[in-house]
């Protein structure tokens, strides 16, 4: 059962790591326009449909959003808003570091801090539940190992930056490396990882927003996922609409000649992105035998996201021209991140 759960989470991670590929097929739209439209699918429509799976016959989703759950609902949405900030800076991290390195550092930080912050924040409001007891020795060791993996990947990124700098003629841009800027990208990626970790905090506060035993264990996290993504959508929508106004790109939405193509690929990108948390919820349903793996499942998802994002990084030739030593350091860091996901079962 545990292997099935891990496999489902892995499939979701692969889909998420592939979600930026369809965006390359979008035509004649500015970044803010396609980001907002794919967000409607990724953070509103698909999470809503997913949350309906948690509703048993004879009940409705509205029953969950009552005054009894008002505090947890508000906290879940608020941490979703903070996560939304992480989503915005996440895109910038990939701009300055590339898909592979940007996702590695941001998602690695998100994995480590997201795992810890949930029980910590929950203990401030509900100490009687003793949520800190979930942070067992093996979980904390796994987090520490994850941070080591991040540091090693950072070393690989610095080696890449030096190699690119030395290979270009003086005064020439980064060429195929785009806007690669390791120091700036590192700071943004760490911020993105910290804020993105708020997603798991929101899930922690919303863990009981379901119908309990009436809801299939595989679907219990989906209502909370909807609330978190709703909060994130607010943040992103405000920013995107501001950019539409600032850049005068409102005409993107009225360009009927590309609507069919762009809506299709925005839907595909949104579906691939949402698959990671849909898969996380389904996978957790098979991990009930191991409470430590439940606590660590968010970290597992992020570590697998890092793995698959680097596969795409290789496919997109982002590490082309780097020395064998640089690639070796990168692979060591990735291997350590993957190992950290299984620490609760090994320690």
In tens, the pLDDT along 273-331 reads 999 999 999 999 888 888 888 888 898 888 888 778 777 777 777 777 788 898 898 88
pTM as predicted? 0.85
Q: 36: how many CB neighbours lie within 10 A of its CB?
A: 22
> Nearest CA to 231 among 272, 271, 203?
203
**SS3 category, 83:** helix
Residue 168: its pLDDT value, please? 55
Tally of CA atoms within 13 A in the half-sphere of 242 that contains its CB: 6
Residue 176: its pLDDT value, please? 40
Q: Is 15 left (phi over 0), alpha (psi -120 to 50) or beta?
A: alpha
Task: Give the separation between CA 81 and CA 48, rounded to whole angstroms.
Answer: 17
Backbone angles phi, psi at 323, to 5 degrees: -70, 160
Give 260: exposed, middle or buried? Use CB within 10 Å, 0-12, 13-18, 19+. exposed
Residue 139: its pLDDT value, please? 85
* Residue numbers in the chain where pLDDT is lower than 70: 67, 99-100, 103, 164-179, 345, 347
Burial letters for 190-221: b for 16+ Cβ neighbours within 10 Å, e otherwise? bbbbbbbbbbbbbbbbbbebbbeeebbebbbb
Task: Give the separation between CA 85 and CA 232, rounded to whole angstroms.
Answer: 7
Backbone angles phi, psi at 314, to 5 degrees: -70, -40
Residue 177: its pLDDT value, please? 47
Please check whether residue 54 is in contact with residue 210, taking contact to mean a CB–CB distance below 8 angstroms: yes
**90 to 66, 195, 330, 342: CA distances (angstroms):** 33, 9, 20, 26
Residues contacting residue 332 through CB under 8 Å, at least 6 positions apart: 152
């Amino acid at each position: 059962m545990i292997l099935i759960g891990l496999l489902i989470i892995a499939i979701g991670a692969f889909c998420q790591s592939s979600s930026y590929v369809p965006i390359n097929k979008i035509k004649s739209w500015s970044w803010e326009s396609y980001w907002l439209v794919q967000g409607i699918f990724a953070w509103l429509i698909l999470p809503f449909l997913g949350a309906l799976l948690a509703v048993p016959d004879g009940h409705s989703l509205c029953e969950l959003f009552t005054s009894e759950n008002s505090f947890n609902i508000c906290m879940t949405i608020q941490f979703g808003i903070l996560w939304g900030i992480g989503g915005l800076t996440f895109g910038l991290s990939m701009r300055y570091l590339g898909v592979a390195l940007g996702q590695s550092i941001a998602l690695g930080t998100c994995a480590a801090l997201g795992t810890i912050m949930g029980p910590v924040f929950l203990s401030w409001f509900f100490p009687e539940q003793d949520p800190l007891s979930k942070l067992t020795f093996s979980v904390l060791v796994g987090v520490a190992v994850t941070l080591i993996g991040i540091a090693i990947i950072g070393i690989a990124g610095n080696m890449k930056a030096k190699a690119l700098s030395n290979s270009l003629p003086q005064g020439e841009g980064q060429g195929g490396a785009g806007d690669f800027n390791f120091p700036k990208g590192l700071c943004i990626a760490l911020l993105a990882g910290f804020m993105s970790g708020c997603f798991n905090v929101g899930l922690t506060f919303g863990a009981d927003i379901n119908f309990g035993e009436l809801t299939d264990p595989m679907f219990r996290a989906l209502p909370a996922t909807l609330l978190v993504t709703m909060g994130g959508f607010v943040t992103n929508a405000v920013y995107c609409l501001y950019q539409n106004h600032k850049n005068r790109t409102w005409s993107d939405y009225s360009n009927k000649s590309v609507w069919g193509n762009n809506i299709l690929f925005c839907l595909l990108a949104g579906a691939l992105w949402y698959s990671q948390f849909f898969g996380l919820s389904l996978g957790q349903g098979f991990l009930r035998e191991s409470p430590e793996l439940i606590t660590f499942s968010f970290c597992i998802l992020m570590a697998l996201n890092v793995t698959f994002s680097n596969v795409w990084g290789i496919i997109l030739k982002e590490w082309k021209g780097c020395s064998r030593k640089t690639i070796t350091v990168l692979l060591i860091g990735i291997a350590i991140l993957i190992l950290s996901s299984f620490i609760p079962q090994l320690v």
